[in-house]
Structure formats: structure tokens, C-alpha cells
């Protein structure tokens, strides 16, 4: 999560920690999740395994933090103050079509964090809850302004949009020619009753 204690560190440590995060991201993005060991990350940043483990309790925790960091980064990049979260999600999906390594990492984490003991379990859970709630609000806003029929259940759309996003990324991992945001937008338009579209 983000409520972790300040964890007082020296300046050097702070920098190193960031370096590890970056290195981990790079390594994972290049060699994939499963093929990136602590050893490799440690080498990339000039430490030993134990050195890395000094900053992160476990490999899983490291990975979780990489994702949550990137998550926050992405969100901030695109979020702004826009109320149209559905559009924002679409753009995030579009952007994800650029970074296979990250999509892979994210997918892995979501699947693995299913176990309650997993360090990222709570994070993923809350993330889902937040996203769904936000999207539902977005639908409600559109309903209020009249651009979406009032008899549509916002929760259904919110859950569906979230599932769509995740599911499309899974498919995309196996076939990078898939136009994720294209399908997403089209499907959403169908659900919200806008004019239909076509896809290749």
C-alpha cells in the first residue's frame, strides 16, 4: 500500500532503493518476470542478493512495489483532474500496448497475489475496489449529464470495463496484433448505447 512508515534511511540508501526499483523494472521488462532472478537484479545494481533483500523483504514484495509504483506513475501521468475515468482507462490501455514487459508483470502479480499471504494481496484487492468504484462513478456522471441511459447498472459496466481491460491484456500477451484499446472502446460504446464501430 502507501501507508508504510517513513522508514528512516540514509541518503545513499534512499538512492539505492530507487535504483533497485528501476533496475528491477528494466530487468523484468527485458527478460520477463520468470527469468529475472534476485541475482540478476542485484548484479544490475551492483549488490548481492542479500544486499537487495536488505531493502525488500522478499522478491515478491519487490515485484509488488515495482508494479504499484508504476501504477501510481501511470495514473498521475494521465489522471490530471479529468472526471472521465472511462476515457482515462482507455488511454492507459492504449499506452500499455507499448510495454509488453509491464503488462506481463502486472498480469503475473494479479494472478499470484490471489493468495491471501501474498504481500501484494491487499494492494491488488484495494486497487480493484478503487478502480471499480471510480469507473462506476464515471458512469453515473454520464448518466446524470444524460449521455448514458439511466436504466444501466453502473456497477455492471464498471466491473465489465475492468474485466475487459485485464482480459484484453491477457489476450494481447499472446497476440500483440490485437488492438486492445480499439476493442475496449468499441465494446464500451456498445454497452453504453453509443453509435457502433468496426474493427479489423
Enter the C-alpha cell of residue 178: 490485437
Reduced to 3 states, what is the DSSP secondary structure of residue 98?
coil
- Specify whether the CB–CB gap between 60 and 120 falls below 8 A: yes
Binding partner of 197, given DNA, its own copies, none, CB within 5-8 angstroms per partner class: its own copies
Distance in angstroms between the alpha carbons of the first and the last residue of the chain: 40
115 sits near DNA (criterion: CB under 7 A): no
**Which residue among 39, 147, 171, 176 contacts DNA (CB under 7 A)?**
39
Per-residue binding string, DNA, 6-35, x by CB under 7 A, is: --xxxxxxx-x-------------------
Radius of gyration, alpha carbons of the chain: 19
197 sits near its own copies (criterion: CB under 8 A): yes
112 sits near its own copies (criterion: CB under 8 A): yes
Closest CA to 149 of 192, 198, 97, 93: 192
Place of cell 462513478: 137
Place of cell 532503493: 17
Reduced to 3 states, what is the DSSP secondary structure of residue 52?
helix
Residues between 162 and 191 with contacts to its own copies, criterion CB under 8 A:
162-168, 170-171, 173-175, 178, 183, 186-187, 190-191
108 sits near its own copies (criterion: CB under 8 A): yes
48 sits near DNA (criterion: CB under 7 A): yes
Name the site residues for DNA (rule: CB under 7 A). 8-14, 16, 37-40, 46-51, 53-55, 57-60
Amino acid at each position: 500500500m502507501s501507508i508504510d512508515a517513513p522508514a528512516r534511511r540514509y541518503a545513499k540508501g534512499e538512492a539505492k532503493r530507487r535504483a533497485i526499483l528501476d533496475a528491477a523494472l528494466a530487468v523484468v521488462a527485458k527478460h520477463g518476470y520468470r527469468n529475472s532472478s534476485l541475482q540478476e537484479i542485484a548484479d544490475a545494481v551492483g549488490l548481492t542478493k542479500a544486499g537487495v533483500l536488505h531493502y525488500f523483504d522478499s522478491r515478491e514484495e519487490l515485484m509488488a512495489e515495482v508494479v504499484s509504483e508504476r501504477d501510481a506513475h501511470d495514473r498521475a501521468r494521465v489522471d490530471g483532474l479529468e472526471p472521465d475515468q472511462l476515457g482515462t482507462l482507455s488511454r492507459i490501455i492504449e499506452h500499455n500496448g507499448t510495454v509488453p514487459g509491464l503488462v506481463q508483470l502486472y498480469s503475473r502479480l494479479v494472478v499470484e497475489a490471489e493468495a491471501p499471504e501474498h504481500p501484494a494481496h491487499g494492494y491488488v484487492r484495494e486497487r480493484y475496489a478503487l478502480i471499480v468504484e471510480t469507473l462506476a462513478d464515471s458512469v453515473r456522471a454520464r448518466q446524470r449529464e444524460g449521455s448514458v441511459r439511466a436504466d444501466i447498472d453502473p456497477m455492471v459496466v464498471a466491473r465489465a470495463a475492468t474485466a475487459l481491460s485485464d482480459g484484453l491484456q491477457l489476450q494481447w500477451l499472446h497476440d500483440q496484433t490485437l488492438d486492445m484499446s480499439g476493442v475496449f472502446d468499441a465494446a464500451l460504446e456498445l454497452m453504453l448505447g453509443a453509435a457502433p464501430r468496426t474493427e479489423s
